[in-house]
Structure 1
Amino acid sequence: MSRAYDVRAAGCLLWRRSSAGLELALVYRPKWADWSWPKGKLKRGESAEAGARREVLEETGYTCRLGARLPSSRYTDHQGRLKEVSYWVAEARDGAFEPNEEVSDLVWLTPDAARERLTHERDRDLIPAALIAIDGDEDVRGL
């Protein structure tokens, strides 16, 4: 029998198209000294989709349009709790980044540059599925 997850979270691989081509947003979290996707814990009673949108707005300053759902990330967090993060690709809409309590920096990078900058391998693993989803807007949970 599998154990239930202690922590439920949600986030997005936020993307946009620019003159440089497709770019993905990474956030720097000083508390953890890492580069990652915008994400965070769900509030009580909050759906994963609503939590993903809220976290993107709080951490990046951008509203977004959720696209395809991506594979979830499951791991043990810094406190030894089982954590599951539900992810979507999300197109950036209106907004602008301002440093805040959780995130000190945001960068827009090509997928290859994002792969190099991300701190955790589990975050890098989402890039191929995200690229398929962005190009085809397909649900890729089974990849």
Structure 2
Amino acid sequence: MSSPDTTDPTGTTTVHAAGCVLWRRSPIDGELEICLVHRPKYDDWSHPKGKLKRGEDALAGALREVEEETGYEATPGARLSTVRYLANARPKQVRYWAAEATAGAFTPNTEVDRILWLSPTAARNRLTQPRDRSLIDDLLAALHLA
């Protein structure tokens, strides 16, 4: 298990986070749906994710964040890409997994005020950050739908 943050040789601290591309089969037509979360603090749409707690396993952290942000429990699947970017002038690394929603229900909270279940195409178009769009392609490949 790693600590949530690491320092590189230049003294820059990397923030470690984890998340999931949460999916389900539509209760209406059985088609694939991807869950996106809306964070009012940033007014953005993204995949559920968050910083790891000290000593927390990345997959455990990803599933914890999914449940905290969406209200859904999930069964983890394939490991997806790791996304790296700068957040508040600090490097951030987010490890992602595919995860199938199993049980639960969304309740709005201060961190996430809305969720949407969208088709892969609609989800790709709704995501605020272009870097998050390739994760949908990763999911489709992992589910052998690409």
Provide the aligned length of Structure 1 versus Structure 2: 135
Structure 1 Cα separation of the partners of residues 135 and 20 of structure 2: 10
- 1:101 to 2:110 alignment: yes
**Hey, which bits of structure 1, 4+ residues long, moved more than 2 A?**
1-5
Structure 1 Cα separation of the partners of residues 30 and 127 of structure 2: 19
The aligned counterpart of 1:126 is 135
Same amino acid, percent of matched pairs: 58
Deviation at 1:10, TM superposition (A): 0.2
Unaligned runs of 5+ in 2: 1-7
The aligned counterpart of 1:48 is 58
Identify which range, 85-94 or 4-13, moves more after superposition: 4-13
Deviation at 1:127, TM superposition (A): 1.1
Structure 1 Cα separation of the partners of residues 144 and 9 of structure 2: 35
The aligned counterpart of 2:17 is 9
Deviation at 1:129, TM superposition (A): 1.1
Deviation at 1:125, TM superposition (A): 1.5
Deviation at 1:2, TM superposition (A): 7.3
Deviation at 1:135, TM superposition (A): 2.8
The aligned counterpart of 2:74 is 64
Structure 1 Cα separation of the partners of residues 138 and 111 of structure 2: 27
Whose radius of gyration is greater, 1 or 2?
A: 2
The aligned counterpart of 2:4 is none
Deviation at 1:126, TM superposition (A): 1.1
Q: Which amino acid aligns with 1:55?
A: E
Unaligned runs of 5+ in 1: 137-143
The aligned counterpart of 1:22 is 32
Structure 1 Cα separation of the partners of residues 129 and 25 of structure 2: 24
Structure 1 Cα separation of the partners of residues 143 and 55 of structure 2: 29
Output the aligned Cα RMSD.
1.6
The aligned counterpart of 2:5 is none
Contact 1:9 1:39 in 2 (8 A): yes
The aligned counterpart of 2:125 is 116
Structure 1 residues 113 and 81: alpha-carbon distance in aligned structure 2, compared to 1, 3 A threshold: same
Contact 1:25 1:37 in 2 (8 A): yes
The aligned counterpart of 1:73 is 83
Secondary structure at the residue paired with 1:129? helix
